[in-house]
Structure 1
Amino acid sequence: MIYISPNMLKTVFALFLLMLTVSPYSLASETPSAEAIKNKTVVIKSVQTPVTQVLPINPDLTELLVQLKPSTVDRHRVEGLLAKLTLSKAPLNAAEQYLLLVVQALVKEKLESTAIVNQDINKSNVVELLAQAEKLSGQIAEEQLVQPDFLQLHLILAAHFENQGNYESAYLEKKYYLKKYHIYRKNKRLAMIASLEKSFEMQDKKATNALLKSQNELKFRRVAEVKEEQAIQQYNFTLIIGTAIVFILLFFRQLRVRNKLIRLTLTDALTGVANRNALFESGNSMVKRFSDQPEELSVLLLDLDNFKNINDAYGHNVGDKVLMIVARLVKETMRSRDLFARLGGEEFVALLPYADIHKAKAIAMHINEKIAQFNFSLIMSQRQLTMSIGVATMNNKEMKFDELLHCADLAMYQAKEQGRNSVVCYQHIAESQERRADTNTAPLDSEWEF
């Protein structure tokens, strides 16, 4: 036997009196009274001339409702669809406006505790949004209003009232939902019965039975033979189609594997950028293409300063992480038409089509600033790294890619000699050599030996 103390009985009795004296709708100013919800049911029942035309629905609204049904919501997808609907200039009919208000209320209910914040939703609460939706009910056919997407209005209100402790209103909304859902199920059953009756009419059945009875034994045997032949043909056809599908699937699988292998052969395994093979293949093709065009092609040769000291001090694992970070930072500065590749070790190459010496130098200086500003202290004690960059531009249309890359390499070594963390253009080196040769201050061959 369960023992209940007198104090517990007093507490229960006091709570019961409190529930009788305090209206659940006094807990929130925006919730309507139970009488208002009952009156709402009466008003809907009193409509004499209901709308019979079913209005079309925007597919984005249907997609939004589907996205909001799971427990975990794709916030970016929902935001994108809402923005698309909000910014769309196409007018919305009454049913679409109804569903849009329901979607906004559902977003507020589900996502107001997350990072998703919608200014339009914050300006009005759930009950106000759904009240606006209910005002549109008179312009929507009853057959459409009882569909599950439209009935979510009552489920949202029921959940909202339940969370506020307004159980009476939640019960009425749930009851109203079940009443409409019963109409929906009834209409669906009637439609199904009508479809079945239309498909299997009694007259067709009687005519078929009479025809079958009038056939003689020979005709039955002939029909059986035809069916057997058709079954054999269908089996053979299915077997051929199945075999063809298997071969097609195997072919596409082999094609995917081949493409993946090709990508792997052209991609650096550590940094994810193009490797040496892809660099020379693309470089040779670009040089051939630009040899017939007036536009210029530039090459950047990038080398991390004192990278050997990083490997010696922190290990190759840290060195690999540094290379991955540097590759990512440089790749962010590249244009969509550019090619960024790893030449080997700590050396990288960037192919810049349609870029003269000034554009190439500006890109190289931007890369240097980005590398110098990045904080590497998360993976090692050294906070800052620098990079030396050599720039070479294809001025001679008969120049080969190896020669262009060699010019950038010479410029990069000149940047190293100037104290690192700098950008040197090969054209400036060549001009300086010519000036020195003209003034006979030093021989050209001995001035720039690397």
Structure 2
Amino acid sequence: MSRLKLLTFLVCIFFASFAVANEETLSQLYDLSNLSITESSTEEHLAEINRVALQDPSDQRVMALSNILKAHYYLTQEDFNKAREFLIKAKPLVDLIQSDKLTNEYLFANMFVLRSSSEIDAAIEIGETLYKKVMESWPKHKLSHLVLEQAYLKSFKYKYDESLDLLKLALDYSYESNDPFQVAETYNLFGIIYSELNDESSANEYYKKAVDIVELHPGLSRNTYLYTNLADSYRVLKDFDDASFFLDKSEKLAKEDEDVAGLAFSYQMRSRLLVDQKDYANALNYLKQAQEISDKIGEKLFNYEIHSELAYLYLMMDQLDKAEEHLDIAAANDSKQNDSDKFYMEGIRSSILYEKGLYKEAYDKLEESYENYRTQFNDDLVRVSNLSREQLDQAQLNFDNKLLAKENELTAKNMKESERFNLLLWILIGLLLLSAIILIVYIYRYRQLAIRNRHLAYTDNLTRLPNRRHVFLQIEEYHKKSKHSSFQYSVIIFDIDHFKGINDRFGHHIGDKVIKATKDICESTLSASDVVGRIGGEEFLILLPKTNETEAYRVADKIREQFENYDFGNLAEGLKVTASFGVAEVRTSDQNVDVLINRADRLMYEAKNTGRNRVMARSTI
């Protein structure tokens, strides 16, 4: 009996020591999961994962987590196919083990893989759920990475306000963690978002900030795409020399680091630069090299961009069959899953149909593309189809020439059949007139469509006030004028106090009415030369020409009083609304409008922080 007890005791000790060893291995792997991107993107990191995993190769938790960490590593290399393979291996074990901590790591990696395969909605849902679960437990740099990806995903759905809010949060996390890589990544994504909003000057400034941080910390890994984004920003700004300089630098770094994804991206941007310079043959050569690498990477977004740009290039080179082929491939890899992408794709398809002489189909496709774009995204509608009036006029001229040639041929062939020829001529003239009428109708409708597009691109959908883009263009004009003369102007930025609480308590329909009432309050107070625009959800900007800070302060305070006296009770019983204001006057030292806007913005937040329902200006501090 005593021997049996001894044997049982020894067995218990064996399994207990085995369990302790497994827990130690698991703890080491979780420590590896919390390393920064700079540390986890090295080959040494992958080797360490394998070394630790081999300590307990039979433990299912160790196997699952090590496969997830390997997937993370390949995500840093932008090798989405390999990352997907390791997650597939981990998935059955994750489901079996049912550990929240392990599941969180799996979801984190899977979010990036889903984005690579165009499952944007699923990736967003995972990210939002995951953040709520880990916001108190994960290290700040890892939270920054998670929030940054969410901001990127939101941009695919054109939710730019949400993206910018998430970017501010990501920037806070990255500064708190003292992680320069995440700071650079955040500035880079700020640039991407502003570029998509067609504010390329702001985008360029953020790209330069990202590059400056990288150059201050040369140990940061995989930074070639930052130079590539900066280069493409210079291309959009028509600074081709700087664009070429930074593309040379990004290609050199990508080759030195054997960064195939970075090299493909650099080739793609080089192709865009060459297209702008009308060098289509060399542009095609670079884009084909990017395509070869893209096929290996396995990211649908990149494939979509490459093939849609190949379609455009082949269209420019009059190779319509190849253009259609690549357009179909791009459609199969459409990453954003959004009607706005159909606008771009169908615009190219419309041009292909036009080049084939299928004018009616070309117009129908153009109109369809407009409907898709208008329905999905009103605030960023800045592009129109290539089917221009000049092209339509040229088509009519070609038709006239063909008709005249036919008439001469028939007249020369047989004068005796003049009656028949005259009849045929009148029929053809009738067809020409009918075609001309149809073309005129198409041209008119096309121009109306373009006018509508331009109006929508600069107008807030709810209030019909100028939107952010419109207001900032006006400020840029005033700022240039102030730099070359004594022209003076001021800005007021104000925000409705506790607006989220209004929405939560009274409903979004009442919130919308408050926004509209804000428009009425401003317009009843401002002069005809003043400009008021809605620049955010509950944020407004007023531009006051020929106005100093003191006068602007009085205007802001008058509007503040109007809020206090306005009968919001008519909208909802018990509803009271106030607003907080920041006032700033342009200074000669303001290098750009961002400095002025930031000053007014800070003053507005100071008004909020000191009790709300007040006006803050430099003179009041």
TM-score using structure 2 length = 0.31
Higher helix share: 2
TM-score using structure 1 length = 0.42
